[in-house]
Structure 1
Amino acid sequence: MSSSPPARPAILLARQVFPDTVARLRQHLDVDAYEGHTPIRRDELIARLQGKAGVFVAGTEPIDADLLQACPSLKAVCSMAVGYNNIDVAACTARGVLVTNAPGVLTETTADFGFALMMATARRITEAERFLRRGEWTHWSYDLMAGQDIHGATLGVLGMGRIGQAIARRGALGFGMKVVYHNRSRLSEADEAALGARWLPLPELMAQADHLVIVVPYSAASHHLVGREQLALMKPTATLTNIARGGVVDDAALAEALKVGQLAAAGLDVFEGEPQVHPALLEVPNVVLTPHIASASLATRRAMAELAADNLIATLTGGQPLTPLNPEVLATA
């Protein structure tokens, strides 16, 4: 009598991803793929995780202690995002659930976008396009949409991880910018020298930066790290660019600062409560708004999805996941 092949681990794809990524996952795992174009509702997420060993998420699906309690079969949470503030890693560790993210593969693409957003903000590019499209361009004038220079200016980087360092390299090497930064821990002297970067306390960073780019991870400690008090320290000619996470900047305070000219302009790819945007930010002209697309090149988004798939396959089929956030779980498995 022939025996049936062993059952394969079952997973939920909680977000739509590339069809070939789904096909590769199906070669190794039983896949339940969520097909919705909007984020999965929490009740449906919990229902579809019953009996599942793994879940593929992006940067928004909340994985917390209550969900883990309701989904006892879960063994792996693999995200295609680098940020993981939507995942309670400590709660996962306590229940023996491995968590992975996707660092590294999006560094350069995100830095490209961050620098582009900073330049669009400083040079008033989207404001100028709206002006032109409204038919208001009727003549040249010496101050028409005059913005701020990038070359030779002081670049402030808040959060000097992989992406922050990539932005610093672009500024220093490509545009001759003076680089100052703030981070919880300083870089080594050798790394600072290679980047031409100088560490400053946060208040001094805010005061000295001509162009501030925020790339610090979101946590309870970084919630509203840049608020009314910090914005008041900035030069009226300065710009602020946020490609980190919504909540690092107090959006209401920023909108007010932009309205009264406390700083020149802002570029935002992330927002508190996204996809909702604070209404006051929609009313000020000197802000560039984009829908959380800093990593959105096709090649990079594919690499992010493939890394999450690699981690799921390895974790659930006896391999070694590539980017574990709580590797101590592996030692007790």
Structure 2
Amino acid sequence: MPSKRLSVVVTRRLPEVVETRLKELFDVRLRDDDTPLTRAELVAAVKEADILVPTVTDQIDAALISQAGDRLRLIANYGAGIDHIDVNTARQRGILVSNTPGVVTEDTADITLALILAVTRRLPEGLAVMQTGDWNGWAPTAFLGGRLGGRRLGILGMGRIGTAVARRAQAFGMQIHYHNRRRLRPENEQQVEATYWESLDQMVARMDVISVNCPHTPSTFHLLNARRLKLLKPSAVVVNTSRGEVIDEPALTRMLKAGEIAGAGLDVYEQGSQSNPDLRNLPNVVMLPHMGSATQEGRVEMGEKVIINIKTFADGHRPPDQVVPAML
């Protein structure tokens, strides 16, 4: 007799190849559509499942975890960010949490450079003119943007993604600066010719472009607050492909409207999918719908990591990507 297969609930549609493999290995409940589970559906899932596979759109907070049944033993998150999961409460209940780190590094770095280019070279304005048919031909002073080469890029959070952004920006001739919780090893700094700033205030006041690449934690909430944003040069550009909560979005919006900051490129927002309508109407802002990790290759690799974490757990071992509170 084969052993009883683990019950797995997946909260969103995943790439077909990932869903098929999950179905082969486990007693999995898949979604027919791609809408998030309601709160009631999430409660039912944690009561019934051995393993929950949530995404960033699911709030796995203490109240939800407290309603989990005795069967739930692993929350195998589909994604690297885990600020939507109360890891401490899960641990107290004896529930492990895993994630999928490292997979989205290159894809998110690509989007970061795309946003930097889009804002500094005014690509959306050019695209809009072509789409409306209003282009009357080339002119010497039309759509003048700025050259990336020689500009100072200040990276806020020099982890995997921040370092990948630095490598790309270096190829464009940008001067790399960074602020991090811990300074990089000298050899890592030298690889991207990066200048370290212990003082974030001092760094942001001198940069032409700020790239936010740090996770959202209690210590990084509104790290770019109104006071700190006021330190930016009027010609500076802010790009965020990490978490919206790191920037005081209302303050950023006010400064962009007033021309106190030259522009912004945003892939994430403080209120999640509820982007600020005032931002949408600004010509100096480029907004994307959280596309940082949106490549076919990356999404399949994320699914493969989820499967490895579940399979390792099912075999009685610690998931390779287990998250513990000390890591946060």
Could you tell me the TM-score, scaled by structure 2's length?
Answer: 0.94
Deviation digits for residues 282-305 of structure 1, max 9, x if unmatched? Answer: 121110000001111111111011
Residue 70 of structure 1: aligned partner: 67
Kindly state the Cα deviation for residue 62 of structure 1 after the two structures are TM-superposed.
Answer: 1.2
Residue 29 of structure 1: aligned partner: 26
Residue 110 of structure 2: aligned partner: 112
1:177 aligns with 2:200: no
Which residue of 266, 269, 277 corresponds with 2:267?
Answer: 269
**Matched positions, count:** 324
Q: How many percent of aligned residue pairs carry the same amino acid?
A: 36
2:59 maps to amino acid: P
The 8 Å contact of residues 99 and 322 in structure 2, kept in 1 or not, is answered as yes
Mapped to 1, the partners of 2:283 and 2:125 lie a distance apart of 7
Residue 187 of structure 1: aligned partner: 184
Residue 144 of structure 1: aligned partner: 142
Kindly state the Cα deviation for residue 50 of structure 1 after the two structures are TM-superposed.
Answer: 2.1
The 8 Å contact of residues 29 and 313 in structure 1, kept in 2 or not, is answered as no
Residue 234 of structure 1: aligned partner: 232
User: Which stretch of structure 1 is more off in the superposition, 131-140 or 278-287?
Assistant: 131-140
The 8 Å contact of residues 226 and 252 in structure 2, kept in 1 or not, is answered as yes
Mapped to 1, the partners of 2:157 and 2:325 lie a distance apart of 24
Deviation digits for residues 4-59 of structure 1, max 9, x if unmatched? Answer: 53321101011111222122122221101133322111111111332311011112
Residue 19 of structure 1: aligned partner: 16
1:295 aligns with 2:270: no
Deviation digits for residues 297-321 of structure 1, max 9, x if unmatched? Answer: 1111110111112212221232442
Residue 216 of structure 2: aligned partner: 218
- Secondary structure of the residue that 2:304 maps to in structure 1? helix
User: Which stretch of structure 1 is more off in the superposition, 189-198 or 299-308?
Assistant: 189-198
Mapped to 2, the partners of 1:327 and 1:155 lie a distance apart of 32
The 8 Å contact of residues 45 and 52 in structure 2, kept in 1 or not, is answered as no
The 8 Å contact of residues 155 and 179 in structure 2, kept in 1 or not, is answered as yes
User: Gaps (5+ residues) in structure 1?
Assistant: 329-333
User: Gaps (5+ residues) in structure 2?
Assistant: none
1:61 aligns with 2:45: no
Mapped to 1, the partners of 2:81 and 2:179 lie a distance apart of 19
Mapped to 2, the partners of 1:250 and 1:16 lie a distance apart of 32
Which residue of 37, 40, 46 corresponds with 2:37?
Answer: 40
2:282 maps to amino acid: V
Mapped to 2, the partners of 1:63 and 1:69 lie a distance apart of 10
Which residue of 153, 166, 188 corresponds with 1:155?
Answer: 153
- Secondary structure of the residue that 2:195 maps to in structure 1? strand
2:166 maps to amino acid: A
Kindly state the Cα deviation for residue 141 of structure 1 after the two structures are TM-superposed.
Answer: 3.3
Considering only aligned residues, what root-mean-square deviation do their CA atoms show, in Å? 1.6
